[in-house]
Amino acid sequence: METYAALTSFLIDISILLIIVLICELSRRGNKGCGIPVIFWIEIFFVIWLSKSTFGLNIIWILRTHYEYRIHFYIITWLLFTAILVAWIIYGYVIYFSDDNDC
């Protein structure tokens, strides 16, 4: 059951990621910009957010070979992606409040 859930989550997250990146790319082409890479920041944010699904596919292997370590894998994955997202959000605040922002 957890294998099916991991595959379903992966497919949904990748579909959402592709739609968001496509929308961001289309809006970037029609926008002159405002001194800071806002659209690029948004794209990378969602790539980080939804790439946890790729790591989620590893849970299938964990469940089949090392079932007793599944909780450890969930915790480590969550901590890793939370740390990366916090760092990316801090970077976003730095560029947003920089002098280069003329939006």
State pLDDT tens for residues 85-102: 999 999 988 888 877 777
The low-confidence residues of the chain, meaning pLDDT below 70, are: 1-2, 30-33, 103
| Average per-residue pLDDT for the chain | 81
pLDDT of residue 30: 67
pLDDT at 86: 93
pLDDT of amino acid 2: 65
> What DSSP letter does each residue of 22-50 carry, written as one string?
HHHHHHHHT----SS-HHHHHHHHHHHHH
Q: Kindly report the length of the chain.
A: 103
> Phi and psi dihedrals of 48, rounded to 5?
-65, -50
Nearest alpha carbon to residue 101 among 32, 15, 35? 35
Question: How far is the C-alpha of 8 from the C-alpha of 14, rounded, in Å?
Answer: 10
pTM for the predicted model, two decimal places = 0.69
> For tokens 């990316």, what's the residue?
88
